[in-house]
Structure 1
Amino acid sequence: MMSTALLTGTPLAGRVAVVSGASSGMGAVTAERLAELGATVVVLARRKERLDSLVKNIEAAGGTALAPAVDITDRDAVQTTADQVVERFGKADLVFNNAGVQLISGIEELKVDDWQRQIDLNISGLMNVIAAFLPHLTDSAAQGKPADLINTSSIAATRILAKFSIISSRLGVPAGQNTGQLSGVSKRSASEPEDSSGHVDSPHPASTASSSLAALPIEPGIRCR
């Protein structure tokens, strides 16, 4: 049976964790928790002022954090950030790939700009982060050290929900990171490379408190970030 005991102490001391979508919601609280457990945390998002505030909170609690403001849809910018992480802290060995957007509409509304925005962030952004940091993880795993990749998916990946057809379908994209596509990416990544000792996971949470939650016309129980 899986233990549900709350971790204490600093079991992540010496590890370098990268958290995307860290300016609010699940990303922000996860970054704080990883730092509390001893990890050095690199927080990624576009909203620099929010990241700076998060870093101040982490440092005030005795942790170490870096906040490079970056748009993860910009592949070169993400790679530059990964290089900066190596220069400052060494290679990352824990990546929480959490950035995403959830724009709800009926498919008949033809909000194609919203569709594209979700594709750019939830799919391309996801892959940009993987491309930049996977070499870090595989190197750590090859040395027999911990290596963890966590891709946040959504409950919309597993259920049929009104006005979530674009988010959930293969023709559209995930809300909150992705749905079927993201879950599929995570499952396939978990088996590649075959000789790796790293770990890949893809949680499917429902609603989480974030700066965008109040603006969305959705019912309780539907996850957004």
Structure 2
Amino acid sequence: MEPRIIIGQQELTDDELIQLYQGPGTGPWVRANFVQSVDGAVAVGETSSGLTTPLDQQVLKLLRLLSDVVLVGASTIRVEDYIGVRFSPAGVARRRAWGMADVPPIAVVSGRADLDPDSRLLTNTLVPPIILTSTSASAAAKANLKAAGATVLELGDTSIESGAIIEALANLGLHQIICEGGPTLAGQLAADHILDELCLTTVPTILGGPAGRVTHGRLASLPVRCKHIIVDQDGAQIARWIVDPDRISSR
């Protein structure tokens, strides 16, 4: 099927975006969402805030609206200074109508549980985060996060496998997953053939420099097909890439 190409839309309504991004409804379904420059840089300095556009932000909020959980690596949590997810009353009403919780929790992958219990992730949120860590992480760090309200799950001795992440979230009833980075976590999900979809905004800027790419780590070799491309009036291209399981030898 040829991708749907939408050109010159200054503003897409939430209903139009929902039609474009609605997931399969059964899970698990794992999306990653990134913004990059034309030459593949995913950050200006240390954060992505210098790359994002109004429509990119609209899509980000919609993907969260459609998700049971927001999955993020610990480094991204610290650099981007995450807070808990919030929606407008209309957004909450939509989720209730879909049979979903009012807001999704943030699940953080941190093998060492090295997160600040006084950070905004834990102090500025409507629902407590889920910390996915290891048995070898500091017992004191895990205890401090639990005391701050987090749910702490130990998924491995020293490392956290992709399959264990998805299984742990599914056991909590969290099947629709949006991964917001960073590149190491997204690269791990892709390399392990856990990733189902990549939502990618490309902004009309060439940055150069040392900035990283969307995925980092082991070779993934994950074939995808384009579902749609939105070409915004500001020149940004917002694409939805779906993994093509028929072209993967094993999963």
Would you say same fold, with TM above 0.5? no
Greater helix share, structure number: 1
Greater strand share, structure number: 2
TM-score normalized with structure 1 length = 0.35
TM-score normalized with structure 2 length = 0.33
